[in-house]
Structure 1
Amino acid sequence: MSQKMQNSTKTKIIQVIAEAGLSGGPRHILGLLRNIDKKNFDVLLIVPRGWLSTRAARISGVKIKIVDFKSKIDFKSLSKLKRNIAEFRSSENPFGPIIIHAHGPRAAAFCRLAVRRGEKFVYTEHIWSSFYHIKNPLNAILQKAGLRSIFNRADRVIAVSKSVKNFLVEKLKADEKKISVIPNAIEIEDFEAPKRKNNDLMVGTVGVLVKRKGQIYLIRAFARVVVSLPKARLEIVGDGPEKQNLLAEIKRLGLESKIQLLGRQDKPEKFLRSWDLFVLPSLSETFGLVILEAFAAKVPVVASKVDGIPELV
């Protein structure tokens, strides 16, 4: 079969996400992009500039378009999204099947305005669960209403855990027949057996520094650990708006020599392999991809009993 005929039989998949950092959603998409069968699927990634766009650019057969995706619907980003999708539609096989796969509510809010009749619209929920809360009640009501409109428009909804599915069905009254539970996955080849630095206890965690990730509670708990194990150390990988609050808490507890904030790391797995214990203190966690990474690195895990975490630990 000629290359032209092969291209004409391909299904086009457009992966869209509104964040590009080192959180679970972008890392999940990176795995999808690496493993999708490029012989049968033509793939476009629409994403803001950042970690995901940089890593995805190294994958052969994946086209990338940059769209900022501001926190609210803005006509500039929407116009750019529609233009990128239109160009992809008309390339090589303009009449072939198209799947638009949105990850997270912000990306889906844009995509539902761009998808055409006859195209399949798939939505993956990475964030919402019974433990996920928004302080502003009006904002929470509006976001839930937006989610319902996304569910109504979607041909298929993917929940990354049973906990997410239960929330969508019980709290948002989503159509259960539309929902499939497909857990996230990792490539275990990226992780080797842990390499110990020394005999002292080394504890670590990975995550965006936001309140719902609960790092401040880990810091407070670690203050009690060092009373019994004075040589123990804690490393926190990640960056975010809570950084200054965490640094202030470390200083208040006198733990500057015991706890280190390592910032964002492109390859957090190299730190995982050096830890004796991985802790995930999240207040809300729909899945917990980093737990799988710790398992792959053969590092013991202690994690909060919330959302999808008990399905893993």
Structure 2
Amino acid sequence: MRPRVFISLATSNLGGPGKGLLQFLRSGGFELCDPVVVDFVTESGCESEFARVMRLSGANVVELRQNRKFDMNLVDQAENIVKREGCQILQSHGYKSHVLCALLKRRVRLPWVAFVHGWTSENMKMHCYRLVEMGLVTLATRVVAVSEALGKRLPGIAQRKMTVIPNAVDPAELNDSSGRDVRHELGIPGEALVVGVVGRLSPEKGQIFFLKALAQTRKQVPNAVGILLGDGQDRAMLETEAVRCGLAGAVFFTGHISGLGDYYRAMDLVAMPSLSEGMPNVALEAMIFAKPVVASRVGGVPEVVVEGETGFMVTAGDAESLAVALIRMLESPSRMQAMGEAGRRRALDNFSPTVRVDRLLALYKELLVAQTLEGNKNA
């Protein structure tokens, strides 16, 4: 039986969960299940990046029209979609989608899978969203966490019906080289050692500690420079901090980048100074490009980065220990190369998209069997 799955992800940008969904569909999901992907559409009616990418992939994208932040009419619309499309499983990503599926489950009596990807913490609103999400997932039939560490932060009720399915990385998705010479475009000297930081510019990503660490690193490795890929609320503050740290001309802010391949190839080393992480896609991407990683020991990072083999881990928020690790790496090109190669092997062997697809399909089938048995018992 091909599971028919109602997939709810309330987002306008593709983002990490959206990329994971796209990867699932492209890596066998289309052949093994029938996804119905929901797009939350505002009054403006403009198609979001998420919806556009999903449509182009060939997914069946259906619209939920909303007139306000959370429109209760969404539940009626979703119920009509589930019945019209013959959906058998509900799937949600993020607090808003969890609310929708929690209400929908009571009406349509279908199994519900709630995915937990991790949380940001830039303000009180996001903290409240996290608390809401942690409460809502206890109502789901099954909970999927992207790392063991993240799963341990969930309430006990959620942990008892949880399965861990890590993110995966597909080399084909990252093979987007346009042949650009990123170093030349940014004006980076040929002899420079480039440390890249990839991700949203917001407090939980810890870029401010990287800037402080880079300033210390350059005292011992003067040709070390940094590239910060991404955009966000902290950009202006970080640009000011870079100047204050004496990094003018030694750190480069690229803004939002859609194709990362040429940028990863321009790096010698990838730093992840995060204060919190769920399952670090950036670490997996870096490893696919055979780049060693220096990362904070938080969340699911230790489940990806092997200390002393594919990279080094440091205490989150400690710029001094981060600088020590960066220097240790940059002063030994042979170590960086060996760790990068080991990281690529690990990513290919342990974080394959096809393995992730198999685990998700097994979960779907388990839910359908349980639903059938329950129906027969009540008949």
Give the corresponding residue for 1:3.
none
Which one of the candidate residues 197, 203, 207 is aligned to 1:205? 197
Deviations 1:100-158 (A, max 9, x none): 21112232122212233331211011114xxx75765x9857852x3354233201000
Alignment of 1:32 with 2:28, yes or no, is no
Flag the 1:148–1:255 CA change in 2: closer, same or farther, 3 A: closer
Give the corresponding residue for 1:86.
80
Preserved contact between residue 65 and residue 84 of structure 1 (Cα < 8 Å)? no
Q: Distance in 2 between matches of 1:286 and 1:237?
A: 19
Alignment of 1:62 with 2:60, yes or no, is yes
| 1:284 positional shift | 0.2
* Aligned length, in residue pairs: 289
> Which residues in structure 2 correspond to 1:1-313 (within 5 Å)?
10-21=2-13, 23-47=15-39, 50-65=48-63, 74-75=70-71, 78-80=72-74, 82-84=76-78, 86-91=80-85, 94=86, 97-115=87-105, 116-128=107-119, 136=124, 140=127, 143-144=130-131, 146-168=132-154, 172-191=155-174, 198-313=190-305
Flag the 1:280–1:85 CA change in 2: closer, same or farther, 3 A: farther
Q: Distance in 2 between matches of 1:232 and 1:67?
A: 50
Which runs of no fewer than 5 residues in structure 1 stay unpaired?
1-8
| 1:173 positional shift | 2.5
SS in 1 for 2:254: strand
Flag the 1:236–1:81 CA change in 2: closer, same or farther, 3 A: farther
Q: Distance in 2 between matches of 1:40 and 1:22?
A: 23
Flag the 1:141–1:192 CA change in 2: closer, same or farther, 3 A: closer
Higher fraction of helix: 2
| 1:24 positional shift | 2.4
| TM-score computed with the length of structure 2 as normaliser | 0.68
SS in 1 for 2:57: coil
Identity between Structure 1 and Structure 2 (%) = 26
- CA RMSD in angstroms comes to 2.9
Q: Distance in 1 between matches of 2:296 and 2:232?
A: 20
Bigger shift: 193-202 or 31-40?
Answer: 193-202
Q: Distance in 2 between matches of 1:250 and 1:100?
A: 46
Preserved contact between residue 74 and residue 100 of structure 2 (Cα < 8 Å)? no
SS in 2 for 1:230: coil
Q: Distance in 1 between matches of 2:81 and 2:3?
A: 15
Q: State the one-letter code of the partner of 2:232.
A: G
SS in 2 for 1:112: helix
Preserved contact between residue 237 and residue 263 of structure 1 (Cα < 8 Å)? yes
Q: Distance in 2 between matches of 1:69 and 1:300?
A: 47
Flag the 1:66–1:267 CA change in 2: closer, same or farther, 3 A: farther
| 1:64 positional shift | 4.7
Flag the 1:133–1:261 CA change in 2: closer, same or farther, 3 A: closer
Q: Distance in 2 between matches of 1:33 and 1:260?
A: 35
Q: Distance in 2 between matches of 1:112 and 1:63?
A: 21
Bigger shift: 15-24 or 236-245?
Answer: 15-24
Preserved contact between residue 123 and residue 156 of structure 1 (Cα < 8 Å)? yes
Q: Distance in 1 between matches of 2:162 and 2:39?
A: 24
Preserved contact between residue 193 and residue 297 of structure 1 (Cα < 8 Å)? no
SS in 2 for 1:58: helix
Give the corresponding residue for 1:6.
none
Q: State the one-letter code of the partner of 2:159.
A: E
Q: Distance in 2 between matches of 1:60 and 1:312?
A: 31
Preserved contact between residue 206 and residue 236 of structure 1 (Cα < 8 Å)? yes
SS in 2 for 1:273: helix
Bigger shift: 82-91 or 219-228?
Answer: 82-91
Q: State the one-letter code of the partner of 1:59.
A: S
